[in-house]
Each structure stands twice: as C-alpha cells, then as structure tokens.
C-alpha cells in the first residue's frame, strides 16, 4: 500500500469511528486525556532525550518550554472539560417569549494537526489535547526536521490510542500534501506564513475550517523609562531560548536612543550570565535545526555592526547569541523572520515613529513593550495590531491557559490554549427550543400582523 492509500485508509477508519458517537461522550474524552497524561509521565525521560538529540535542548529548557506546558494544558482541560462541554443557555429576544436559546458545543469530526520543528513536542501535543477534549478524532503530522521527537510522538500515540481514534503520520512535504487532500473536518497548522497560505488554499477546496499559527517579525520596544537591567534579562530569555527558534521570540528591538548603550551593556551581561563566556561550548545551548537554516542565519551576520557574539560552529550547527547594532530597515536581516539567535537593534527618538514603522509592516504574532508608564502602555497597545504579547516581559503570555494564543493577519488566524483550545475544535451549534403552550399569531400573514411586528421591532 502506497502512502496515499495508507493515509486514505486511516481517514476512512477515523470517519467510521467518529460516527459511532463514542468520542461525543465527555467521560470517554476525559479517560483518554488521563491516559495520555500517564503515558507522557512514564516517558518523560524519552522526551527529554529526543529534544536533546534534535535541538540540543537542555533539560530545564525542555521541561519549561515543552513538557511542563503540556502538563499544565492537560490538567487545566481535564479539570474544566465537563463545564465547557455542557449545553449553554442564552438570552432570547422579546419576540421569542416562551422559547429557550441553547448553544451545544459539538466536535467537527476528523482533525488534522500539522506540527512544526521548533517546539516539536509541545506544538504537536497541545493542539491534540484540544482536539480530543472537544470530541474529535485526530491525525498528527510531526515535523520531519526533528526525527527523534517525530518518532517518539508516533510511538506514544500508538501506545496510547487506536489508529481509528488518533494516528501519527510521519514524512516530508509529500505526506503533508497527501493529508491536505483528504476530506478532513478541521485543519490546525503551525508553521511559516508561506506554508500557511498553501494549507489555506488546500482547505478552501473543501471549505474546511482552519486555524493557522504562523509567525512574522515580532517587535520589542524598550522605552526610555524601562528598568534596563531587568528588561535586558527578559529580552535575552525571550530572544535566545531555543537558540532563537521561537515563533514569538522578539525578532528585533526598537530601543530609545537615550538608553541604547546602557541597554546593550545589560543585554551583553544577561547573555554571559545565561550561557557563559563561550556559548558554543555550553552543553545546554541549543543548535540550529538544519544546515539550510544555519546557512540562512549565517548570511545575516555581516548586517550592521556586531556588538556581541557572532562566532559560529558549522559542524555543530551553532551560532552564538549575537547583538547587531546600526541596523536599518532595508538590510536583509529585516526582510524576513529571523528565527535564530541574532538580535538586531534599531533606535527611535519619538515613540510615534516606532509605532508607524511597526504598522508599515505585516501584523506581528507578538509584541513586547518595556515601560512603567501606563500612558505609554495604553498608547502602544491601542495603536498596534498583533496576535498577543507582554508588557515588561517576553514569551510568558503563551504559558497561561487563561489567555488565547494566536495571530492576526499574516501572523495567523484562530487561537488556542485552555478553554480556547476546546472552542477552536468545537462547532457551536445554535438551537431554539420553542414552547407549544401558546403561539404568537402576529408572525403569520394577517391584517394586524405587520402593525404588531412594527411595534415590537421598532428601531
């Protein structure tokens, strides 16, 4: 059986399984989520080893950014799922006296989850949790660029679920293409804007609903009143975690000219504090995922003026945390999402100039602002459209299940995490339950009906 036939067979099996109605039972969903949690706990050390092998993630980083987030998501959803899944009563209009308006959350059916390579565990399993919580079946396509994690995801899914309920399909772009040709009921994609367009085009052929978690150049503004040492520490954390290969990493910095030199000094100190004098020998500092990405990032190293870092290790695919100063908007490093440990710094004197520069470009996935001035905070937040972000921090907005995580415009559509994951993978079915105890005659064709309706519905 070739790959297309194999994938088609899995989709057909999941179609039959879904129509049995088993996944609609909340008790079944909770049982499966608890089973998944137990298997993850039992194989936690395998996950850590696989992340080390693919991306050289240290144990602390692996737990913080990949495993711990999944545990939190599982616990939060298991705790709240019964309440979310209940039919919800809503208000009715005056013209509907005697009736009840209800919203029934129901699963879409077969969900396809295409995961990226940068957080290969978390960004495959977190959406899967939402899909199962909502009562769907699921096919997960892990990234071929992280083969150790991809194989482990397949192993864990096979250990936990029958393939007619949840399956993992490994392979390259040809496998993704084959999956996108299948009659799926929902598609959840995390990856680049370029591939996101391809996914959306494929989904449009069947009018399949999609969530697109994409990326873009996420700005970070450091205003003149920011606590510079703390800001530098939090920027370094957000920028260089996972060797900068984070969709919501601060892509570039806009630093007020009055504080630029002091900030750069503190940023250098934070890098040294985190990764030592020679990050290339730090066993817990991450590597670039592939030679292609390494070569692309290396080509940016001569942009502007290197203020820190810049050394590379081609054999190990590693690039030091690097600060690039004297950057201009027309340089290659500013033309695409960096997705690596290079930190370009631009300056501004007037905050409105910085806001205009950001708004002249596609809407970013994240925005970060460092200032203690609440008027400045309100001005920036009300002037710039972005997916999500932080004031006086980086990355941490995606680590809470109480906030939706997603993009806007070219940085994506839809959101998930916590309750938002449940609703993303659920269709809200509207139902009006009408009374039979009485009937309003004015809604039917009659001489007096129009006059009564005009009174009831007058503007």
**Which residues form the catalytic set?**
213, 247
User: How buried is 277 (Cβ within 10 angstroms: 0-12 exposed, 13-18 middle, 19+ buried)?
Assistant: exposed
User: How buried is 111 (Cβ within 10 angstroms: 0-12 exposed, 13-18 middle, 19+ buried)?
Assistant: buried
Residue 408 is given by DSSP the state -
Q: 86-96 burial, b for 16+ CB within 10 Å, e for fewer?
A: eeeeeeeeeee
Phi-psi domain of 339 (left: phi exceeds 0; alpha: psi -120 through 50; beta: other): left
- Side-chain half-sphere of 195: how many Cα atoms within 13 Å? 17
Q: What does the alpha-carbon distance between residue 459 and residue 457 come to, in Å, rounded to a whole number?
A: 6
The alpha carbon torsion through 183, 189, 191, 197 (nearest 10 deg) reads 60
Partnered with residue 221 across adjacent β-strands are 254, 369
Beta-carbon contacts of 149 under 8 Å, excluding residues fewer than 6 positions away, are 47, 50, 51, 54, 120, 121, 142, 143
Beta-carbon contacts of 233 under 8 Å, excluding residues fewer than 6 positions away, are 266, 270, 273
Residue keyed to tokens 């969900």: 111
Nearest in space to 345 (alpha carbons), one of 320, 328, 364, 325: 325
DSSP code per residue over 65-81:
IIIHHHHHHHHHHHHHH
Question: What angle (nearest 5°) sits at the alpha carbon of residue 15, between those of residues 12 and 19?
Answer: 145
DSSP code per residue over 370-405:
E-S-HHHHHHHHHH---SEEEES-SSGGGG-TTS-E
Tokens of 452: 């009564």
């Amino acid at each position: 059986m070739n790959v297309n036939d194999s994938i088609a067979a899995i989709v057909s099996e999941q179609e039959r399984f879904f129509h049995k109605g088993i996944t609609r039972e909340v008790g079944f969903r909770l049982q499966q989520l608890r089973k998944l949690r137990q298997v993850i706990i039992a194989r936690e050390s395998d996950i850590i080893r696989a992340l080390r092998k693919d991306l050289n993630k240290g144990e602390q980083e692996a737990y913080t950014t990949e495993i711990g987030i999944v545990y939190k998501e599982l616990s939060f959803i298991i705790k709240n799922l019964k309440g979310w899944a209940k039919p919800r009563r809503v208000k009715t209009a005056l013209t509907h006296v005697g009736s009840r308006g209800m919203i029934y959350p129901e699963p879409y059916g077969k969900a396809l989850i295409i995961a990226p390579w940068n957080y290969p565990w978390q960004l495959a399993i977190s959406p899967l949790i939402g899909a199962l919580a909502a009562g769907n079946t699921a096919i997960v396509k892990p990234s071929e660029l992280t083969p150790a994690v991809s194989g482990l995801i397949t192993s864990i899914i096979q250990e936990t679920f029958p393939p007619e309920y949840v399956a993992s399909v490994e392979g390259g772009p040809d496998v993704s293409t084959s999956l996108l040709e299948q009659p799926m009921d929902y598609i959840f994609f995390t990856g680049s804007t370029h591939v996101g367009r391809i996914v959306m085009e494929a989904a449009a052929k069947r009018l399949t609903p999609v969530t697109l978690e994409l990326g873009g150049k996420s700005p970070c503004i450091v205003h003149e009143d920011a606590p510079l040492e703390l800001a530098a520490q939090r920027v370094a954390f957000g920028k260089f975690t996972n060797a900068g290969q984070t969709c919501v990493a601060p892509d570039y910095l806009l630093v007020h000219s009055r504080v630029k030199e002091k900030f750069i000094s503190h940023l250098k100190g934070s890098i040294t504090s985190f990764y030592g004098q020679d990050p290339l020998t730090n066993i817990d500092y991450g590597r670039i995922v592939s030679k292609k990405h390494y070569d692309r990032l290396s080509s940016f190293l001569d942009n502007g003026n290197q203020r820190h870092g810049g050394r590379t290790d081609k054999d190990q695919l590693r690039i030091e945390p690097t600060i690039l100063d004297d950057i201009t908007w027309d340089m290659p490093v500013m033309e695409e999402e960096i997705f690596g440990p290079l930190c370009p710094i631009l300056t501004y004197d007037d905050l409105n100039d910085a806001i205009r520069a950001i708004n002249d470009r596609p809407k970013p996935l994240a925005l970060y602002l460092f200032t203690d001035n609440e008027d400045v905070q309100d001005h920036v937040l009300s002037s710039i459209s972005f997916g999500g972000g932080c004031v006086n921090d980086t990355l941490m907005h995606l680590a809470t299940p109480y906030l939706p995580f997603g993009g806007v415009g070219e940085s994506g559509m839809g959101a998930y995490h916590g309750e938002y994951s449940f609703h993303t993978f659920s269709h809200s079915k509207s139902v009006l339950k009408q009374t039979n105890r009485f009937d309003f005659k004015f809604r039917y064709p009659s001489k007096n009906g129009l006059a009564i309706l005009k009174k009831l519905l007058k503007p």
